[in-house]
A and B are shown apart, each in its own frame.
Chain A
């Protein structure tokens, strides 16, 4: 039972354009969400997070949007750069529950120069 889903396994975007990565979840008790970026042969690195009390969080070129009613979050990268090419994982947790993070299956982003 995949509680966190990333339905697009891959995405290609032209350099300078916007990249939008999507993530859906099923557990309405999730209240904290994160995005991680992973390069080959490296572990995932934390990118940005959002609490359920917000619907948007921005950090430089990265913005995460949360739509609680749709149980959907998205990561926007503007403008996209070739160095952004990586696998992106979203993760969710329930602060008052088991506390562990549930990860999606990842989306491979390729930014074309």
Chain B
């Protein structure tokens, strides 16, 4: 079974631009969560989608948005990029809604975004 895939793996953008990241979950998984990882901050939760609906949202500004398609693939968009948005963006999928037993998350390799 193929794992979680994320595209692109690396991205360089300049301030003010926008970016769209893509995540394809493990086949059969209906939940996709997005995290931002920066040095010293661990994994900061962005949002989770389950069956095309946003189920949970972290404490990020409205510049960060996402969506999920009927095939469970998900995209994350960041508009008006800032230098501080440089980070590794990780996507994780799970069978059901994340949290609790039996819904462990499986992570993709991440997209490394650099904002210049």
A44 in contact with B107 given A93-B100, A98-B99 (CB within 8 Å): yes
For B112, the closest partner residue in chain A by CB is A41
Q: Are A41 and B107 in contact (CB under 8 A)?
A: no
Q: Are A100 and B107 in contact (CB under 8 A)?
A: no
For B104, the closest partner residue in chain A by CB is A46
Q: Are B43 and A103 in contact (CB under 8 A)?
A: yes
Residues of B within 8 A of A42 (CB): 109-110
Chain A positions 33 through 45: 1 when the CB is less than 8 Å from some CB of chain B, otherwise 0: 0101000011111
Residues of B within 8 A of A45 (CB): 106-107
Q: Are A99 and B104 in contact (CB under 8 A)?
A: no
Interface residues on B, range: 20 to 34
A32 in contact with B101 given A43-B110, A99-B56 (CB within 8 Å): yes
Chain B positions 32 through 46: 1 when the CB is less than 8 Å from some CB of chain A, otherwise 0: 010100001111110
B-side residues, CB < 8 A to A, are 4, 33, 35, 40-45, 48, 55-56, 58, 90, 92, 97-101, 104-110
15 additional contacts (CB under 8 A) given A101-B105, A106-B42: A32-B101, A36-B107, A42-B110, A43-B4, A44-B107, A46-B105, A46-B106, A89-B42, A94-B99, A95-B101, A99-B99, A100-B45, A100-B56, A103-B43, A106-B43
A-side residues, CB < 8 A to B, are 6, 9, 31-32, 34, 36, 41-46, 49, 51, 89, 91, 93-95, 98-106
